[in-house]
Amino acid sequence: HIKIKLKMRKKEVPESVKIVGNNIKEIIKEKDLKVRHVAHESDLDIEALRRYMLGKQIMGIDKLIRISKALNVEISELFKKI
């Protein structure tokens, strides 16, 4: 048997994306919200929102606006600690 290990190179996600994702996660926790409700309110797939929260995917400004509205916070709250 020959084992071939394929290593896919993913672009490194910027630290700021991880911080925004963590801020979203913290706001959800602070407000005692359910991730699926926030996903629904922001018209996002729950898995997409989870990837954003984990800092694994870069969010477009349109999605950031929808998420901030779903969380009922100013968009600037998502950018704290950057």
pLDDT-derived band of residue 13, with 50, 70 and 90 as boundaries?
Answer: confident
Q: For 33-66, what is each residue's pLDDT tens digit?
A: 999 999 999 999 999 999 999 999 999 999 999 9
Taking the C-alpha atoms of residue 35 and residue 24, their distance in angstroms, rounded to an integer, is 10
At a CB cut-off of 8 Å and minimum separation 6, what does 64 contact? 20, 75, 78
Please state, in angstroms and rounded to a whole number, the distance separating the CA atoms of residues 18 and 51: 10
pLDDT higher than threshold 70 for residue 2: no
Q: pTM score, two decimals? A: 0.84
Residues 18/55, Cβ–Cβ less than 8 Å: yes
Handedness of CA 56, 61, 67, 73 (dihedral sign): positive
